[in-house]
Amino acid sequence: MSATDNDTTESLRTRLETIVQRSQLVSALTQTSESTVVSAFRRGGQWIADATTHSFLYRWLTKEPEPEVIVIDLRETWTVGPFVTLLDAFIAWMLPLWRESQLAQLTGSVVSVGEDLAETRYGQLLAQLLEPPEPPTDRDDDTESDQMEAADEDASSHTTERNS
């Protein structure tokens, strides 16, 4: 490339940048991009979220269940009852075969070895490590601390009222 080609390319680039900078379309888009377009989408999204959360279907699906516990015996239903009957018959047929199988004897041996290992010190340590944590109790201590904070706020407001 010669020096004149570089000058021509540079002057074209400069002219193009000037045209783009002075363009009314570019200035309109840069000025309204945040205020008009984005805010319109945000308002539309907020309206959709509000309409969804206030709809009957959403409230029905997220409603808290009744506190009563209902127990349904699936053996008495028409849909699941036949499958439960078949499963009972299959288990009754397989149980004698299972008891005489070598796999059952091997499983029994593995279980007895596992019980023996569980009684060792390392087995007990492993059981303690793998034991799930206890479920959290009711937060009585949190409510007591909340009550103490409220009492402290009441005391400080009374002190402020006396000082003024």
d(CA 41, CA 35): 10
Residue 70: inside a domain: no
pLDDT, tens digit, 9 for 90 and up, residues 49-107: 888 888 888 888 888 777 777 788 888 889 889 999 999 999 999 999 989 999 889 99
Q: In the prediction, which pLDDT does 13 show?
A: 77
Residue 119: inside a domain: yes
Q: In the prediction, which pLDDT does 53 show?
A: 84
Residue 44: inside a domain: no
User: Domain span at residue 22?
Assistant: 1-36
Q: In the prediction, which pLDDT does 82 show?
A: 92
pLDDT, tens digit, 9 for 90 and up, residues 102-155: 988 999 899 898 888 888 998 888 888 888 888 887 655 555 555 666 566 655
pLDDT, tens digit, 9 for 90 and up, residues 9-51: 777 778 877 877 777 766 666 665 556 777 777 888 888 888 8
Q: In the prediction, which pLDDT does 150 show?
A: 59
Residue 147: inside a domain: no
Residue 140: inside a domain: no
Question: Total domain count for the chain?
Answer: 2
pLDDT at 163 over 60: no
d(CA 6, CA 149): 75
DSSP H helices in the chain = 3-22, 24-32, 39-53, 56-61, 81-100, 102-118, 121-130, 140-163
